[in-house]
Structure formats: structure tokens, C-alpha cells
Structure 1
Amino acid sequence: MTFTFRILTSVFLGCSVLLLGACMDNATKASEMNSEVSTSTISEQANSIVVLTVSDFNSAIQQNNQNVQLLDVRTPSEFSDGHIEGAVNLDVNSNSFVRAIQTLDPAMPVYVYCRSGGRSARAAKIMEQEGFKTIFDLEGGITAWTAQDMPTKK
């Protein structure tokens, strides 16, 4: 009985080791695949929409002042109350927003802002879906802009 018990124990342990090794290999492969997918997704998102602080947003539009596509996606009345100089008003809530952004160059960077960041984030997603390659969104919107005493134009 002891000899049979030893054989069965050895067979059981051998099978367990093989099974455990196969599971670990599959888990490692699954983990590597998930890591590749996550990294790919993050880098694609990072290349499309970038949220910039007020100072970084200001520096970027100042450096590219001749070729900047600067969009204020608030309502026309909000825009008339004050906006960043050089901005074009394209209301993201307007039915014509998608048609209006199609007049822009999707290969050139676009700088977008709203009052506090919600509408500009939505506008950035729409622009991304419409094929725009690089979109910079002002963190905190014009509220953050004016809080840092940045100039606006009426």
C-alpha cells in the first residue's frame, strides 16, 4: 500500500506542477497582452488630446501665434463678454459645430477652451473623432485663464 501511495502521490504532484506551470505561462502572456493594449491606448490618447495649464496654453499659443487654430467653444454671448485674443467662436452646443470644424485643418494643432473645461473636453472628443491629430485643451477654461490675470478681449 505504501508503494502505491508513493506512486499516486508522485503522479499527482507531477501533474500539479505541469498544470501550475501552464497556468502561470498563460497568465504571464495575458498580462503582457493587456499591458501592450493599455500602453497603446494611453499613447494614442496622449497624442490626440492634451490638457494644458494656463501658462503652458499661453506659451503655446504665443509661440504659434501666426498659425494657431484657437477655438472658444462657449456660446456667442459668453464669447462677447470676453475671450482670448485671436480666438474663433464655435459653440459646441450648436447643431452646426461639426460642420464648422470641418473648415479647419485637422493636421494642424487646435487649441480649445470653454468656461471651465467641460464643454472643451467634449469638443476635443468630437474633433478627435473627426480626425484632428493634436488638440490642446485649456485646463479650467477661461475661468482659470482670468484667475491668473491673463488678458482677454471683448
Structure 2
Amino acid sequence: MVLKSRGAPLFATSEEAEQAFYDALEQGDLAQLMAVWADDEDIVCIHPGGPRLIGHDAVMESWREILGSSPVPIRPTRVHAVQSMMSSVHTVVEQLVVDTSQGKQLVNCYATNVFHKGPTGWRLVLHHSSQAPADLGPTELQDVPDLLH
């Protein structure tokens, strides 16, 4: 259940915050997207193939550029979460639909989303996304180690 604290959403769980993040991308809503992020100069965002962006202004400007052309048709799948009392690390496979010269294509990216719990609920402090290998089929997107040692 998402509550509001002084106009900003209060996410009771890291899962709620992550869902709000991806909903904002699909709706192309920069204000909603940035409401998920911690209001902190230590936040970090790395887009596929892009530089490391540090700080609220740099992160916001990058999303403004991305969302400026259109909403992002994206769906997080295969969520794996490791959680403690005050932090949560989610790794997901992001499925994006992109326009190419051959028409619309499904692209998969691996993403890591790190959330911290504070007085305003759960907030995103790091988003790092990179393109997944092109030769992975939809059923092969679950990474399984070849050998445990």
C-alpha cells in the first residue's frame, strides 16, 4: 500500500517502490519516476552503455532525455531480491520493446535496483542496467551457474 507523506509517496516495501519506478517509465512520468528515488546526492544511475551518473540533478536530467521522446515500454521480469531491514537489492531482467530498422524488437537488459529504507519509506538509490546477451532465448534468461565451488 503506497501512502503519501507531504505530497510524496511513502512506499511501505521495496517491491512497491520498484513497481512505481517501472510504472512511471511506462507512463513517461518524470515526476512520478523521480519520486521513487532518494532525495540524496549519493544516488547513482547507469544506463546501458552510458556513463555513471551521480547525484539527483544528473539522474533526473538523464531520465528527462530518455522520457522526452516517449514513454518506455518496459516490463521487469525474473525478480531476485536480497533484503535486510534497511536495504534491498533487486536484480531483474528488463524486457523493452524498441524500434529498429526491422520493426519493433524485444530487447532484454539485466538491471540491479538498490533500495534503502528511511523516514520516507523505501527509496531507490542505485539503478544499473546493461544489455543482456543477444543470443539468449526467452526460456534461457534465468542464469544458472555451471559449477558451484
TM score, norm. by length of structure 1: 0.25
Quick check: which one's helix share is greater?
Answer: 1
* Structure ID, larger Rg: 1
TM score, norm. by length of structure 2: 0.25
Quick check: which one's strand share is greater?
Answer: 2
Q: Of the two structures, which has the highest relative contact order with CA contacts closer than 8 Å and spacing of 6 or more?
A: 1
